[in-house]
Chain A
Amino acid sequence: MSVPDSLSMPLAIECEDITKHYPHFILRDVKLSFEQGSVMGLVGPNGAGKSTILRIVMGLIKPDSGSIKVLGYSMPNEQIAAKRNIGFVAEDMRLYESETIEFHINFIKSIFNSWDDQYAKKLLHRFDLKKEQKIKGMSHGQRIKAILLLALARRPNLLVFDEPTTGLDPVVRKEVLNEMMNSLEDETHSILFSSHNTLDVEQISDYITFIYDGRIIESRNKEDFMDGWRRLRLTNMNNVSLPNLSNIKEIQQSGRLCTVTLNNYENSIPEHFTNAGLQINNIERLSLEEIFLGNVAHAKGAEKEAIV
């Protein structure tokens, strides 16, 4: 069953055919869009282009070609207006080491009139931070929480987070996910984030975009994305050949036992295998992590074949 998307909502982000050339890396024909009120998670291995896409969305990098609209604003031309409503958090952000959290709060507050003092107070409490605390001497987790607080308490309509949970212990990770979900108070608040933690992406994303080697491999709503993948465990008693289906992404065979991973799964697929004389022992769903690893292995395999 597919879940109808709420097409009535305006788009939070709309990227059309973005291309960006670097000496050792090319981002190609990136199309990315999702409506307001939802969460888009980007997954992909290191160096796939996730951070580049987020920086292009933020207007920090100008693409060679293509168009970007964020909350209806054209980027990078209208980035000043757009950024009033966007909270951006990236791994390489720095705070003033010798200053306190309170200093940073007052600094951000003086720039953004949307600052919510009460919410900032709650976040300090929930994140176990003290406003008198100096940045120097804070742990990695505390720094990330401080940076997130500074973005969240502005109550922007769009949060753009690059690897928000990387390097956090499970308790802090849960707190961060909690606050990300809390920020979705109504249909006008959206999140775009990247993560290596497939569990996080699987849990809170409405849409998943899979990136590999500068290209978008798949981008669709999470329920359809997860529903599309299946693993069939088969017994091949008579050593027959497997049906030739384009859905098959991976085959692992050892003796009479055979495991087949498929995408774009349909209920009619098992029949193809039973008709071919194979016995189906089990049909399993895949976790996002398994889909991720399968996708990368498949892409790498295709690369190798192309080289040979």
Chain B
Amino acid sequence: MPSSTVYTVYMKYEFVFSQTDMRPMYQQIMEQITQRIAVGDWLPGSALPSIRELAIDTNVSVITVKRAYLELEREGVIATQQGKGSWVSESLDLDALQREELIQHLQQAGKLAKSLAVTEAELLQIIKKFL
């Protein structure tokens, strides 16, 4: 039963992944979704694309998108119900989410500083410049 409707271009989610990002793909998907929610593009309660839809759209395997959704669900960012799909959690604390994002950035900065042998004092000085 060929269904030609599937091939009409559905909404593109424009996820852009980086080949030089060393994190596993499921984490990159989680980040892309979280960012869309953090900036308010995806509002609490709004529906997420189905796992298969997002997989086809982004050329990433179904199992990887499924894992990203499961982890986001565990973190309370999204909610999923069998047969109904997934949506952005209604009770989501946007401030906490943005704070979490900030912490992740700082974590990256800390790691990078360490690998570059930048001292704690130096790093704090640099951060102060941006405050």
Contact = CB atoms under 8 A, between A and B. Distances in A.
B56 A3 contact: no
A106 interface: no
Contacts of A207: 63
A116 B4 contact: yes
A204 B52 contact: no
B60 A155 contact: no
A185 B67 contact: no
A118 B55 contact: no
B81 to A, nearest CB: 16
B71 interface: yes
A226 interface: yes
Interface in A155-192: 155, 174, 177-178, 181-182, 184-187
A37 B24 CA distance: 23
Interface string B1-26: 01110110000000000000010111
Interface residues of B, number: 22
Contacts of A289: none
A207 B4 CA distance: 28
A223 B63 contact: yes
A185 B2 CA distance: 10
A209 interface: no
A182 B56 contact: yes
B62 A37 contact: yes
A186 B63 contact: no
A264 interface: no
A39 interface: yes
A16 B61 CA distance: 26
Interface string B77-100: 000000000000000000000000
Contacts of B52: 37, 184, 186-187
Contact of A119 (B7, B59, B61): B7
A274 interface: no
Contact of A122 (B7, B25, B61, B71): B7
B63 A177 contact: no
B61 to A, nearest CB: 5
A184 B63 contact: no
B26 to A, nearest CB: 7
A284 B23 CA distance: 10
Contacts of B26: 223
Interface of B: 2-4, 6-7, 22, 24-26, 52, 55-56, 59-64, 66-67, 70-71
Interface of A: 1, 3, 37-39, 114, 116, 118-119, 122, 155, 174, 177-178, 181-182, 184-187, 203-207, 221-223, 226, 284-285
Given A187-B52, A205-B61, A206-B61, 17 more contacts: A1-B70, A3-B66, A39-B62, A116-B4, A178-B59, A182-B7, A182-B56, A184-B55, A185-B3, A185-B7, A206-B62, A207-B63, A222-B63, A223-B26, A223-B63, A226-B24, A284-B22
